[in-house]
Amino acid sequence: MSDVSDQSFLQMANTVVDDTRPGVQCGPIDDLIARHRPGYGLVRAFYHDPDVFERDMERVFQRHWHCLAHESIIPKVGDYELFRLGDEQVILTRDKNGQVHALLNVCRHRGAEVCTSRRGNTRSFVCPYHAWTYGLDGALKTARLMPKDFDRSAHGLKMLQVRVVEGLVFVSFAAQPLDFAQVENSLRASIGQYGWAEARVAHRETYGIDANWKLAVENYVECYHCGPAHPEYSQTHALEQPAEVIAGLNTAMEARTCALGIDVVGGDHWQSSAAGAEAIHVFRYALYDGAVTGSDGGAPVAPLIGRFTDYDGGVTSIHLGGTSFFVAYADHGMIYRFVPKTLDSCEMELIWLVRADAEVGRDFDLDKLTWLWKVTTDEDKSIIEHTARGVRSRFFEPGPIAPMEYNELRYINWYLEELGRA
Ligand code: FES
Ligand SMILES: [Fe+2]
């Protein structure tokens, strides 16, 4: 399987660096898309065909924006962290002006990795091979014993497009990225109210999942499975019920949010990528009465955050592009990053955010803060891998999407549109 992944990420990288790569054979995939049965799940080939995985990398991974981190992981000048996205490695840095950069970890001489440690603080990156030295902004500062007319300015590290919005760092591999303006507005109107720009990372956890990345994302976006699969989550989160059943709870929650003077975008707002902008879906839902946040029993777990002076008993949920997801509570936040690895494996990183001045031990208990989503994600990993083994069968035939899986239906339709886009 790694050969498939190698090939795909190589093509993805070539798209950034060199647009002369040969086109992907697309006839059979377009045929698969055309034969998709509306209202049903995806057929087996979408999870097991190496060509589909390559197209995923090209049309979803390379074309769309991805949340890489919260910028509080690199608070000081010179801080950096290395991210592995398949065969690509991205160094997230903060330069002397405080600006965040996403540098490709590929020396412009003969291609060695210039950054060899996972994270740290530095003034420059010295390639371990022949010692070309790059600044935090990727500029080539020195290249020893090169001819006098060597143009250093033309040999800086290649960089991804970066946007920092409300503390969240987004990157795009595309030379011409999708328009991000509407997404920025939506993020300001939603998690901006939760003060994420001033938040900090309290904990991170990475889960390796033996499944095609879409099985992991599809599982994330629907809550039809919450009742049977997540007893802990379902104790407190009303999303485990059909929308019509919880409409009253949601109305009461919106009234409480409003009474706090908080104008967080409510309802259900969806923007597709059809017009060349990044996709975003923002919606809110209530916790059950007596629960105020995502925790064991819904009890508070951290100091109130952002504009919240009291708990509103609500949750703001955001789906962005194809791989980035956010959940905002009145006292903490969650980032979910999905990273395709190979045709049959992916990773999911969970990032817990708290108010910047909140101290572990004094203001919050880390085990209590992380309990709910650790338990829930362990359960998810298990059911995603059960599903991956099931859909491997040649007898697998997708069934109808249930009414409670409306977000899964929306995601599948969006994915097929993106995959079929020229
Ligand atoms: S490969 Fe980096 S300096 Fe030669
Ligand atoms: Fe789940």
Q: Which domain holds residue 254?
A: 178-420
Q: Which of 129, 134, 142, 150 to mutate to test the pocket of ligand 1 (most atoms within 8 A of CB)?
A: 129
Token pair, residue 339, equals 């990273």
Over residues 370-379, the pLDDT tens digits come to: 999 999 999 9
- Rounded (to 5) percent helix, strand, coil in the chain: 35, 25, 40
Single-letter residue type at 174: A
Q: Which atom of ligand 1 is nearest to the CA of 143?
A: 3
Q: Where are the strands (E) in 60-185, listed by range? A: 66-70, 79-85, 88-94, 100-104, 119-121, 124-126, 133-135, 140-142, 161-165, 168-172
State whether residue 66 is helix, strand or coil. strand
Per-residue CA distances from 286 to 33, 64, 75, 167, 262 (Å): 36, 30, 34, 25, 15
Handedness of CA 53, 58, 59, 65 (dihedral sign): positive
Q: What is the pTM of this model?
A: 0.92
Do 155 and 101 have their domain in common? yes
Do 330 and 278 have their domain in common? yes
What pLDDT was estimated at residue 388? 98
Domain presence at residue 255: yes
Domain presence at residue 50: no
Q: Which atom of ligand 1 is nearest to the CA of 132?
A: 3
Edge-to-edge strand ranges of the sheet holding 161-165:
66-70, 168-172, 161-165
Do 144 and 183 have their domain in common? no
The rounded distance, in Å, linking the Cα atoms of 133 and 151 is 14
Over residues 388-412, the pLDDT tens digits come to: 999 999 999 999 999 999 999 999 9
The rounded distance, in Å, linking the Cα atoms of 242 and 223 is 9
**Final residue of a structural domain among 162, 194, 229:** 162
Over residues 256-302, the pLDDT tens digits come to: 999 999 987 767 888 888 889 999 999 999 999 999 999 999 999 99
In this structure, which ligand is nearest to the CA of 140? Answer: 1
Tokens 């919880």 appear where? 246
Do 367 and 394 have their domain in common? yes
> For the residues 153-161, what does the mean pLDDT come to?
98
Over residues 58-83, the pLDDT tens digits come to: 999 999 999 999 999 999 999 999 99
Q: What mean pLDDT value characterizes the chain?
A: 92
**Final residue of a structural domain among 162, 192, 222:** 162
Of the candidates 74, 83, 125, the residue with the CA atom closest to the CA atom of residue 339: 83
> Which alpha helices (H) appear in 224-348, and where do they start and end?
226-229, 231-234, 247-259
Do 94 and 202 have their domain in common? no
DSSP state of 35: T
What pLDDT was estimated at residue 269? 84
Domain presence at residue 8: no
The rounded distance, in Å, linking the Cα atoms of 222 and 99 is 36
CA-closest residue to ligand 1 atom 1: 110
State whether residue 73 is helix, strand or coil. helix
The rounded distance, in Å, linking the Cα atoms of 325 and 92 is 20
Do 219 and 133 have their domain in common? no
Q: Which atom of ligand 1 is nearest to the CA of 131?
A: 3
Do 291 and 145 have their domain in common? no
Domain presence at residue 98: yes
Do 226 and 129 have their domain in common? no
Number of domains in the chain: 2
> For the residues 222-233, what does the mean pLDDT come to?
96
Domain presence at residue 369: yes
The rounded distance, in Å, linking the Cα atoms of 277 and 200 is 28
**Greater pLDDT, 241 or 86:** 241
CATH number at residue 243: 3.90.380.10
CA-closest residue to ligand 1 atom 4: 130
Decide if 383 contacts 219 (C-beta within 8 A). yes
Distance 261 CA to ligand 1 centre (A): 56
Do 155 and 210 have their domain in common? no
Do 146 and 183 have their domain in common? no
Question: Quick one: how far is CA 173 from the chain centroid?
Answer: 14
Do 281 and 190 have their domain in common? yes
Domain presence at residue 187: yes
What pLDDT was estimated at residue 266? 67
**Final residue of a structural domain among 130, 162, 194:** 162
Lowest mean pLDDT among 161-170, 272-281, 331-340: 272-281
Domain presence at residue 148: yes
Question: Quick one: how far is CA 38 from the chain centroid?
Answer: 27
What pLDDT was estimated at residue 264? 79
Edge-to-edge strand ranges of the sheet holding 79-85:
100-104, 88-94, 79-85, 119-121
CATH number at residue 86: 2.102.10.10
Do 286 and 144 have their domain in common? no
Decide if 309 contacts 260 (C-beta within 8 A). yes
Distance 146 CA to ligand 1 centre (A): 12
Residues with CB under 6 A from ligand 1: 107, 109-112, 127, 129-132
Q: Which atom of ligand 1 is nearest to the CA of 111?
A: 1
Distance 106 CA to ligand 1 centre (A): 9
Domain presence at residue 36: no
What pLDDT was estimated at residue 81? 98
**189 in the Ramachandran plot: left (φ > 0), alpha (ψ -120 to 50) or beta?**
alpha
What pLDDT was estimated at residue 268? 80
125, HSE (Cβ side, Cα atoms, 13 Å): 34
The rounded distance, in Å, linking the Cα atoms of 217 and 299 is 28
